[in-house]
Amino acid sequence: MRTTLDIDRELLDQARAALGAATYTATIERALSEAIAGAEMEAVLESVRGDDLVWSLEDLQAHRRMGRGQPR
């Protein structure tokens, strides 16, 4: 999909460097994907908040990749 956006060039360049993206499109797509993943991770953390469960970041990421069950 093509669209026109008015984005601060310096901010976009900083994001591109931080993400290691080759293009502006790749930068925006990766930033959006990471924003979604962050929100999903927050939802997981919120769902276990108050429980006696303690998962490492690696366990949470593995759980997300598996899409099911207890973390490894």
Determine contact, residues 35/28, Cβ cutoff 8 Å: no
Nearest Cα to Cα of residue 53 among 62, 44, 65, 66: 44
Residue 39 has pLDDT above 50, yes or no: yes
Residue spans per domain, the chain: 9-66
Residue 17: how many other CB atoms lie within 10 Å? 10
Determine contact, residues 58/41, Cβ cutoff 8 Å: no
pTM comes to 0.63
Q: Provide the pLDDT confidence category of residue 72 given band limits of 50, 70 and 90.
A: very low
Nearest Cα to Cα of residue 28 among 56, 5, 55, 50: 5
